[in-house]
Amino acid sequence: MALMRTCIGCTQTDDHPKDIVDHGTFMVVWHLDCHVITVDCRSCKNRLADAKGAKGETLRAHLVSLPPLVLDEHGEEVS
Amino acid sequence: MPALDRAEAKRQLDASLGITTYVAPATPMKVGLTTTIGTDTTAGTAVTGGSYTEQNLGAAAAVVGSPTTASNAATISFTGMPDTTANSVKAVEIKDNAGRRWGYGALTTARTTASGDTLSFAAAALVFSQS
């Protein structure tokens, strides 16, 4: 069953890939593109760099095809 | 959270009491996600699948207080998470870059991810304390 979550940025509820941000005592959920638009999230920007505007299952397929990355605090790959 | 691994606790006690010299960890320190909560002798079950991989911890220097605490200085993002609806993410494991275990800690609330999600911990979301 699809995992439905509501993006805090656009308030839309769907099963698209999200960035789940744990703040310790609470969490917020973002669409990756909403997270970039709203707060310039660098890791989401990194993930979407070659996604060509894909959404939903197409975006999911793209994201899981990417190689494992260790990211620094700027969302850049650690060499 | 977290609790020290038993071997790390001995290393720290022996060093702080002047018995032995503390062998510093191999940096950078790493943080991993687990679907079970570890113990002071055994690591939890690591998340596998997707393009999940351990990330650098990037802890800030400790702040003296009651208790004295340290935390992650910047957001830590685990990208390309697998589907964890059957086994949610319940804890983190901390180790050094050579795999020497430092400790573990349960999340305040278990987190569930869909395939392709990113699971992030905001700065100061992971807090380590000693009193």
pLDDT band for A71, please (50, 70, 90 cuts).
Answer: confident
pLDDT band for B131, please (50, 70, 90 cuts).
Answer: confident
DSSP assignment, residue A51?
Answer: S
C-alpha to C-alpha distance for B44 and B13, rounded to whole angstroms: 24
Contacts of B124 in chain A (CB under 8 A): 24
Shortest CA gap B114–chain A (Å): 6
Report yes or no on A70 lying in a domain. Answer: no
pLDDT at B37 over 70: yes
Report yes or no on A21 lying in a domain. Answer: yes
Tell me if chain B has a CB within 8 Å of the CB of A50: no
Q: Residues A54-77: what's their mean pLDDT? A: 85
Q: Residues B112-130: what's their mean pLDDT? A: 94
pLDDT for residue B87:
95
Tell me if chain A has a CB within 8 Å of the CB of B13: no
Contacts of B58 in chain A (CB under 8 A): 72-73
Strands B68-71, B127-130: pairing kind: antiparallel
CB contact under 8 A, B121 and A22: yes
pLDDT at B128 over 60: yes
Distance from the Cα of residue A11 to its chain's centroid: 15
What would the pLDDT profile of B1-36 be if each residue is shown by its tens digit? Answer: 579 999 999 999 999 999 999 999 999 999 999 999
Which two tokens mark B90?
């319940």
Segment A28-31 long-range contacts (CB within 8 Å, at least 24 positions apart): A29/A5, A31/A7
pLDDT for residue A28:
97
pLDDT for residue B1:
56
Of the residues B52, B53, B79, the best mutation for testing chain A's interface (the one with the most A CB atoms within 10 Å of its CB) is B79
CA distances from B27 to A51, A72, B8, B23, B24 (A): 33, 14, 15, 12, 9
What would the pLDDT profile of A9-55 be if each residue is shown by its tens digit? Answer: 999 999 999 999 999 889 999 999 999 999 999 999 999 998 998 98
CB contact under 8 A, A21 and B117: no
Report yes or no on A72 lying in a domain. Answer: no
CB contact under 8 A, B114 and A69: no
What ipTM was predicted for this assembly?
0.92
pLDDT at A75 over 70: no
pLDDT band for A1, please (50, 70, 90 cuts).
Answer: low
C-alpha to C-alpha distance for B31 and B40, rounded to whole angstroms: 16
Of the residues A3, A39, A44, the best mutation for testing chain B's interface (the one with the most B CB atoms within 10 Å of its CB) is A3
Report yes or no on A60 lying in a domain. Answer: no
Tell me if chain A has a CB within 8 Å of the CB of B69: no
Report yes or no on A73 lying in a domain. Answer: no
Which two tokens mark B79?
């990208």
Which two tokens mark B59?
């802890």
Contacts of B75 in chain A (CB under 8 A): 21, 43, 73
Tally the domains of chain B.
1
Tally the domains of chain A.
1
Report yes or no on A15 lying in a domain. Answer: yes
Domain holding B58, by residue range, is: 3-130
Q: Residues B102-109: what's their mean pLDDT? A: 94
CB contact under 8 A, A71 and B55: yes
Residue in A21, A32, A68 nearest the CB of B51: A68
Domain holding A30, by residue range, is: 5-50
Give the predicted TM-score (pTM) of the model. 0.93
pLDDT at B41 over 90: yes
Which two tokens mark B127?
């807090």
